Amino acid sequence: MRILLTGATGFVGSHVARALIARGIEVHGMTLPGAPRYRLAEVASQMEIREGDLVDGTWVRDAVRSIAPEATIHLAWYAKPRSYLRAVPENLASLRGGMNLLEALADGGTCRRVVLAGTCLENLATPEPTIYAAAKAAQHALAGGFTERSITAACAHIHYLYGPWEDEQRVIPSVTRSLLRGEPIDVTDGLQSRDYLHVADVADALCRVAESDLVGRVDICTGAPVKLRDVFEEIGRATGRPDLLGIGALPGSESTGWPATGDPTALLTTGWQPRYSLQRGIEQTTAWWSTHERSGQ
């Protein structure tokens, strides 16, 4: 099978690329011009990578025509920490890029299956959705209309994740790296519930959804959330420095009201099961960050 993977150099995309290659699938990645490829260093030679902007409809059509994918996993989206939720121009540009991609796939005539990466925030009824969640939901709603062009679309609502190569500005890497360096760090009370998955399990889930006949919303989660405080404590145990955690020192955030989990029923029909428990996943991720810190990469 030949699969087109957008956002191939990103946190999730790089892990999906590895999972697809391990399955023996021909992978054609798309990424923005000049995007760093360090996450793909060990597998880049086993896939084709094209640089371009999905907002450029002509480039997208030409690339899709050249690749002739049989299936597509679309992950590319603006995701800069602390700004992606409310960045209106960037989210609208990402939506335009997604529409260009869907149109090019429909016109190309070879792709019969699309998996679109979404967010658990699409499940949020109150407060009002962010522009990020609204744009994702709009893309997913529009994708359903492409069934007339013989393309089936599954919309993967990804919940909370962590693992190697995550952006250093996000919560779990920030806490892990501080403790590994012997530096104290203040965090919130962590009382909000979250359904966390190791990114390798998320990648496997996306591959299985691509291989399945599922359509519409597919929640990528376990259905068994934990407290964020439990995650902090696992990091403290894994690093051996729980004494450096200032739990409750920071005020709570808007994320307190976000969805804790979803319904994994559809995902489980693919045979998917998470390979990492929270403890094992945090231990593996902490070991990776420890090696990463020592190597200075």
Phi and psi torsions of 286, nearest 5°: -65, -40
Q: Does residue 246 belong to any structural domain of this protein?
A: no
Distance CA 217, CA 195 (A): 17
Task: Categorize the per-residue pLDDT at 297 as very low, low, confident or very high, splitting at 50, 70 and 90.
Answer: low
The pLDDT tens digits of the residues spanning 94-124 come to 999 999 999 999 999 999 999 999 999 887 7
Q: Does residue 262 belong to any structural domain of this protein?
A: no
Q: Does residue 100 belong to any structural domain of this protein?
A: yes
Compute the half-sphere exposure of residue 179: CA atoms within 13 Å on the CB side of its CA. Answer: 26
* pLDDT value for 151: 93
Pairing of strands 71-74, 113-119: parallel
Q: Does residue 72 belong to any structural domain of this protein?
A: yes
The domain spanning residue 55 has which CATH number?
A: 3.40.50.720
Q: Does residue 209 belong to any structural domain of this protein?
A: no
Q: Which of 237, 242, 246 is nearest to 287 (CA)?
A: 237
Q: Does residue 195 belong to any structural domain of this protein?
A: no
Structure tokens at 229: 């405080």
CB 69 within 8 A of CB 4: yes
Domain that holds residue 74: 1-158
Distance CA 60, CA 44 (A): 21
CB 16 within 8 A of CB 207: yes
Domain count, the chain: 1
The pLDDT tens digits of the residues spanning 16-67 come to 999 999 999 999 999 999 999 999 999 999 999 999 999 999 999 999 999 9
Q: Does residue 256 belong to any structural domain of this protein?
A: no
Phi and psi torsions of 276, nearest 5°: -110, 125
Q: Does residue 32 belong to any structural domain of this protein?
A: yes
